[in-house]
Chains A and B, each alone.
Chain A
């Protein structure tokens, strides 16, 4: 507490850096995983290899990925893009399976009724499949939000400033208060973003409130 009292401007700055790393990564994960998941959920022959690749990607350890990714993408080692790209890879790997389940669980009868009513392509996805998949998708997105916020701290090990900087700096200088602050602020940020996701989810599925 004493450490936080003296250093709160630094904590706020690092919190800002952290948010700038995780929010684009979460948004990109959703934008990529939802269409890929729908493809995997509706076409089993395509889905199995896609989900297999996702499982393998998720098994790649984080710090080695941060080191390898710049080599693969031709980026500098210390760059926010590298961290965001790595976080996006994990986010997509986590979310694709849930997205495939979400779209796979859309009632085939409803889907066909919509086709009979004249929906096709984009309209079918946007106005029928997606709204019905949102509740399951949302549970997957919440997992991605929470784990991305925690994972982003690893970036501090390659020199990218985030809340993880409090962990490495506190460890190297032997200030327990700084490390504790880093852990607590990271967990609080994860919970706040999780709560926001939940609220957005409620707002975009008004029919569920009526049913409940």
Chain B
């Protein structure tokens, strides 16, 4: 394999409907949409479980099941059931993103010391106010940690989504694998890895910033 060819490919394939620019946009949009939908479902549920301390077993079971079920299996099953198009990968990716978000929201709220919550109740805050003004701000670093884990898993698995749908940077890998076009295959791989690492570093920095804000609010 010639790395020079890979760099030439990376430098010259940005334009057009199947170019790097378009595939990158698809990949990011798919990731963003999936994480948003999954967050709308999982965050309120996780916060509710953390606040009421009821149903914690659901969180543990979903995290365990998500770890054991092969992502490729979920994608191919949905692909067979729903046909080609974006519905199958979106649905499969949303299901994969749920456990991390649920666990993050649950753990974030759950780890707020009970004494703090009781003090808030004693000074007259309603349950809704306790969630919004006490538990969510204090749990934010952990909740964002869940968001970070989910985003990384989705951006990574969105590569596999190209196996069942014509979308995202994964297309370069699958086209390259099929046609033995190593420059395209390795170039696509480098793009996905770069995207994942940039997201990871950005989200980790955000998480650190938020936790500093929580522990030293005046700075």
Contact = CB atoms under 8 A, between A and B. Distances in A.
A56 B202 CA distance: 12
B209 interface: no
B200 A61 contact: no
Contacts of A138: none
B133 interface: no
A174 B71 CA distance: 18
Given A67-B173, A150-B68, A62 B156 contact: yes
A130 interface: no
Contacts of B67: 143, 146-147, 150
Interface string B54-91: 00000000001001111111101101110000000000
Contacts of A68: 186, 189-190, 193
Contact of A55 (B159, B160, B188, B200): B200
B49 interface: no
Nearest to B160: A63
A63 B159 contact: yes
Interface string A86-100: 000000000000000
B159 A64 contact: yes
Contacts of A81: none
A186 B74 CA distance: 12
Contacts of A62: 156
B196 A157 contact: no
Contacts of A71: 1, 3, 186
A61 B70 contact: no
Interface stretch (A28-36, A121-129, A164-172, A201-209): A164-172
A121 to B, nearest CB: 36
Nearest to B204: A55
A164 B70 contact: yes
Interface in A170-191: 170-171, 174, 176, 179-180, 182-183, 186-187, 190-191
Contact of A59 (B77, B164, B190, B196): B196
Q: By DSSP majority rule, is chain B's interface helix, strand, loop, or mixed?
A: helix
Interface size class of B (residues with CB under 8 A): 35 or more
B163 interface: yes
A12 interface: no
A153 interface: yes
B42 interface: no
Given A150-B71, A187-B69, A179 B80 contact: yes
Interface in B18-65: 64
Interface string B141-159: 0000000000010011101
Contact of B70 (A65, A70, A153): A153
A180 B70 CA distance: 11
A171 to B, nearest CB: 4
B80 A174 contact: yes
B193 A164 contact: no
B204 to A, nearest CB: 7
A191 B193 contact: no
Contacts of B163: 157, 168, 171
Q: Which 5 A-B pairs have the closest CB atoms?
A: A61-B156, A64-B189, A183-B73, A171-B76, A59-B200
30 contacts: A55-B204, A56-B201, A59-B152, A59-B200, A60-B193, A61-B155, A61-B159, A61-B192, A61-B196, A63-B159, A65-B189, A68-B189, A71-B186, A146-B68, A147-B67, A149-B68, A153-B72, A153-B73, A154-B160, A163-B70, A167-B73, A168-B163, A170-B76, A171-B76, A171-B163, A176-B77, A176-B81, A182-B70, A182-B73, A183-B73
Interface of B: 1, 3, 64, 67-74, 76-77, 79-81, 152, 155-157, 159-160, 163-164, 170, 173-174, 176-177, 185-186, 188-190, 192-193, 196-197, 199-201, 204
